[in-house]
Every structure is written in C-alpha cells, then in structure tokens.
Amino acid sequence: MGTKAETKEGGKTSRRGYSKKIWILPVLAVTGIALGAWQPLGFDEILAYGEEVGTSPLFLAAAVTAMVMCFTFGLPGSLGVWLIAPFNPPLLATFLLLVGSVGGAGGAYLFARKMRSDWKPTGPSAKVFDLLRRRGDLATQTALRMFPGFPHSVVNFAGGVLRLPLGAFLAAALLGLAVKWGIYASAVHGITDAVAAGEAVNLRTLWPLFALAALLLGGAWVKSRMQ
C-alpha cells in the first residue's frame, strides 16, 4: 500500500487531469457555435458535393464493403444508410444497403460459428439471444430484422452460435431488411429532395415517415412481448 502522501498526491494528479479534460467541453461548444454562425459551406453546396461524391461507383463500392466488414465484426454498419440513401434513388439505395447488410450478416454468421457454443450476450441483448434459441424460425427472424431497435449484431452472432439453418437465416435477413431499408431509403431521399428543391413537405414525402413510425411502434410492441 502507498503512503497517505502518495494517495493525496495521486488524488491531486487525478483532479488536475480531470480539470484539464473538462475544458474540452466549452471549447467544443464555442467551436460549434462559431461554425454554425459562420457557415463556411451552405446546405446547397454540401448537398451538391454529396451528390457528386455519393453517386460515384467507387464511393458506393467502398460504402457497401465497409458495411459488410462492420456487420461481420459487430460494428454499427447501419450508419451506411446516411452515406447511400440521401444521394441515390430509393430502389438503388435499398439494393446497395441489402448487399452490405445481408453480406455482413452472412459474414458474422460464419465468424460466430467459430465461437464457443455456450457463448451468451449480457443485458438486453440476452433476451434476443434467448428468443432465437427458443424460436429461431423464419417468421421470428424476419420480424427481428424488420423492426428498428433490435441489434443486428446480436441476431447475426446468435444465428452462428446457435447454428440456425443458413438458408432461413439469410432469407429472413433479406426479407426483413428489404422492408426496413426500403422505408428508410424512401424517407431519407424524399426529405433530402424536398429540402434541396425548397418544396413543402407533402404526402409523397410523409408516407415513408408514417411507415417508419409504424415500424417503431411494432418494434416497441415486440420488445414488450419479449419482456
């Protein structure tokens, strides 16, 4: 054990380090306010640059590959929707998102098969794992894929650890994510187009948001049933 002097000195060092770190917060706040007031790039300029880069075949290939890798190793690959959906037609965006997410689901399945068979997640994810252990049928897997709020990494790894039938696993990922990504891509692209054109929000723009709200409510209901 150290002496009291050492303990006191350690406490002072810790507080000094904390006081230095806490100054980062006001610096970031002031920087954000300054950039917001200055606005070095307007929304139209950012959107034009995004449309130029975001529709490039090389960029789209890199985005899809990144999604596959992220989903394979349990990272948030769903962020790829913000790289693809705003700048591409909903049908194309949905297809690309499906390639990235279903490819990543298959990679995670194969990766997880090498894990110990008694592996189990902890916390809320354990409920999803236990559900798939008891009921890993096509309908259950499709529902988990379709509704927002369910961690894809847990579903992917659970499929491999539990050795669920690969055909049903990939079919559920394809069906569920086709619905989910279709609604996401339509909502994001519709709002981006409306803002860029200065149009008022209309039924064409709002229907994907209503569908997304229905999915969120459905996901909340499924979660409550699981608990």
Burial of 166 (0-12, 13-18, 19+ CB in 10 A): middle
User: In the 3-class helix/strand/coil scheme, how is 123-180 assigned residue by residue?
Assistant: CCHHHHHHHHHHCCCHHHHHHHHHCCCCCHHHHHHHHHHCCCCHHHHHHHHHHHHHHH
Q: How many CB atoms lie within 10 A of CB 156?
A: 28
pLDDT confidence of residue 90: 92
Q: How many CB atoms lie within 10 A of CB 91?
A: 12
pLDDT band for position 6 (cuts 50, 70, 90):
very low
Better-predicted residue by pLDDT, 164 or 43? 164
Per-domain boundaries in the chain: 1-40, 43-226
Percentage of the chain exceeding pLDDT 90: 29
Nearest residue to 155 via CA among 165, 145, 143: 145
Burial of 5 (0-12, 13-18, 19+ CB in 10 A): exposed
For 162-174, write each residue's pLDDT tens digit: 999 999 999 999 9
Q: Is the pLDDT of residue 9 over 60?
A: no
User: In the 3-class helix/strand/coil scheme, how is 59-112 assigned residue by residue?
Assistant: HHHHHHHHHHHHHHCCCCHHHHHHHHHHHCCHHHHHHHHHHHHHHHHHHHHHHH
The token duo for 148 is 């927002």
For 168-204, write each residue's pLDDT tens digit: 999 999 999 998 899 888 888 877 776 666 555 555 5
pLDDT band for position 217 (cuts 50, 70, 90):
low
Measuring CA to CA, how many Å separate 143 from each of 111, 147, 178?
A: 23, 6, 12
Mean pLDDT of 29-40: 53
Q: Is the pLDDT of residue 31 over 90?
A: no
pLDDT band for position 128 (cuts 50, 70, 90):
confident
pLDDT band for position 121 (cuts 50, 70, 90):
confident
Better-predicted residue by pLDDT, 73 or 219? 73
pLDDT band for position 53 (cuts 50, 70, 90):
confident
For 59-68, write each residue's pLDDT tens digit: 999 999 999 9
Mean pLDDT of 127-151: 84
The token duo for 49 is 């640059």
User: CB of 159 within 8 A of CB of 169?
Assistant: yes
pLDDT confidence of residue 224: 56
Is the whole model's pTM more than 0.85, yes or no? Answer: no
Better-predicted residue by pLDDT, 167 or 25? 167
pLDDT confidence of residue 227: 54
